[in-house]
């Protein structure tokens, strides 16, 4: 019996004894086990009211975070001021409240935030917490915006790994963090990060509308290159510009998709082009030539051409690498990136992460070059090949791919 009482006494001391910001391995194990037990009880809806949450969750958690919950100089339950009461006040430097913790009924974690903020403002408390045991919301009362804007973190205790929950609770609520002010610094940093991210997020629709509302060269070039990489053919610049101009601006409630608008307009213009061509023919005029996708180049003084950039890439590499096939393995290694092998033994090896997008052409001696790349990348491959084989551009090879 005496041994049992001694073990119970030791557990009580561990629960309330102040500790440093960094928990020891044994203390960490106790906190993890506590959070696991709380999670199991939450799953069975064992905490039925504010009192059970306070005594079964909040007080034990505060004890593991270094607070002596039996010492009114550290934790004041039912803290009263002129405006009412707060369930717990955690006392910081100068014996002043540093954190308010308000406990709500299960499922009511979002209620009472206005009252809690009023208490916090009146007392000058830099951080406050609203919890129903399952959900913990950490607020910076001195921040700007709505109550939601001033929430620096929301922890769902039963949905997080106990180790993660422990790290978050220690970040904002450890007694050592309150005493050295690092808890409040963490809260301010997190608030600023969230506020900046929110502002950037709000600007994304405006940025998108601006991009599709003007002929943005970078966007046009990127879309053109990707379309060519996927199809092997260069789209007409006018078609790319038309597609971008008819993408639905953010906030437009039109039910008609940009693709449908584009297809409809292109079909109409094709009919107009047929009529114009017929009129030109009847008037003895020739119709304007279609845009060319062909590529021309000169290699060692000889002129060559291909229907598109992909075919040109394969033919150029085939002509150069056959001069010394033994250099191909080193060339393939030099061109390899974490996600792609531009030169490999098979199409599947070209893009191992996305074999469904692999398109390749034979360059001889059992090697292949990937084609599902933008023209700028094709030019980079060609330059690397010339470097490996000691060729000078444009002296030995003179080539320019569209949009490269």
Digit-coded pLDDT (tens) for 199-240: 887 888 887 777 776 666 667 777 887 887 777 777 877 888
Tell me the CATH class for 2-196: alpha beta
Q: How far is CA 341 from the centre of its chain?
A: 26
Q: Which regions of 284-387 does DSSP assign to beta strands (E)? A: 295-299, 302-306, 343-344, 360-364, 367-370
**pLDDT at res. 164:** 93
Domain spans in the chain, listed from the N-terminal domain onward: 2-196, 217-279, 295-399
Pairing of strands 84-91, 75-81: antiparallel
pLDDT at 279: 40
Residue tagged 């260069």 (tokens) = 234
User: What's the CA gap between 102 and 120, in Å, rounded?
Assistant: 11
What residues in the chain have per-residue pLDDT under 70? 1-27, 109-115, 121-122, 213-218, 248-293, 354-358, 403-404
Give how far Cα 1 sits from Cα of 6, 11, 13, 15, Å: 9, 16, 19, 21
Cα distance between residue 253 and residue 261, in whole Å: 14
Whole-model pTM over 0.85:
no
Q: What is the CATH number of domain 295-399?
A: 1.20.1380.10
Count of beta carbons in the 10 Å neighbourhood of residue 258: 18
Kindly state the DSSP code that residue 234 receives in the 8-state scheme.
P
Residues 152, 120: Cα–Cα separation, whole Å? 15
Q: Is 45 left (phi over 0), alpha (psi -120 to 50) or beta?
A: left
Per-residue model confidence as pLDDT tens digits over 276-333: 443 443 444 443 343 456 788 898 988 988 878 888 888 899 998 888 889 888 888 8
Q: From the CA atom positions of the chain, what is the Rg in Å?
A: 34
* pLDDT at residue 19 in the model: 38
| Residues 377, 209: Cα–Cα separation, whole Å | 28
Q: Please give the full DSSP string across 11-30, using - where no structure is assigned.
A: HHHHHHS---SS--HHHHHH
Helix (H) or strand (E) holding 399: strand 397-399
């Amino acid at each position: 019996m005496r041994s049992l009482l001694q073990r119970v006494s030791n557990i009580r001391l561990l629960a309330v004894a102040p500790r440093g910001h960094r928990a020891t391995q044994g203390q960490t194990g106790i906190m993890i086990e506590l959070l696991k037990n709380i999670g199991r009880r939450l799953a069975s809806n064992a905490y039925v009211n504010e009192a059970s949450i306070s005594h079964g969750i909040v007080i034990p958690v505060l004890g593991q975070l270094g607070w002596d919950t039996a010492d009114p100089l550290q934790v004041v339950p039912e803290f009263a001021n002129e405006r009412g009461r707060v369930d717990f006040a955690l006392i910081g430097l100068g014996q002043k409240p540093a954190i308010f913790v308000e406990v709500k009924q299960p499922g009511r974690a979002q209620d009472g935030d206005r009252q809690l903020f009023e208490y916090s403002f009146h007392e000058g408390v830099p951080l406050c917490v609203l919890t129903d045991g399952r959900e913990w919301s950490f607020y910076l009362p001195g921040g700007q915006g709505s109550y939601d804007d001033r929430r620096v973190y929301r922890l769902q205790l039963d949905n997080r790994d106990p180790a993660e929950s422990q790290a978050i609770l220690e970040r904002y609520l450890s007694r050592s963090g309150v005493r050295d002010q690092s808890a409040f610094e963490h809260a301010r940093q997190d608030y600023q990060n969230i506020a900046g991210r929110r502002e950037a997020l709000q600007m994304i629709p405006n940025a998108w509308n601006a991009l599709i509302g003007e002929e943005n060269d970078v966007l046009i070039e990127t879309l053109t290159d990707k379309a060519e990489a996927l199809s092997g053919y260069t789209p007409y610049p006018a078609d790319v510009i038309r597609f971008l101009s008819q993408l639905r601006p953010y906030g437009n409630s039109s039910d008609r998709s940009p693709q449908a608008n584009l297809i409809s307009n292109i079909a109409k213009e094709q009919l107009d082009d047929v009529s114009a061509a017929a009129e030109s023919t009847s008037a003895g005029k020739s119709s304007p030539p279609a845009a060319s996708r062909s590529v021309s180049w000169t290699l060692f003084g000889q002129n060559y051409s291909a229907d598109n950039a992909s075919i040109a890439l394969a033919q150029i590499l085939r002509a150069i690498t056959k001069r010394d096939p033994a250099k191909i393995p080193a060339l393939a290694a030099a061109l390899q990136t974490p996600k792609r092998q531009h030169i490999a033994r098979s199409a599947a090896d070209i893009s191992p992460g996305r074999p469904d997008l692999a398109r390749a052409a034979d360059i001889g001696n059992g090697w292949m070059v990937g084609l599902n790349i933008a023209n700028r990348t094709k030019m980079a491959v060609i330059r690397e090949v010339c470097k490996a084989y000691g060729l000078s551009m444009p002296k030995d090879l003179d080539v320019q791919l569209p949009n490269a």
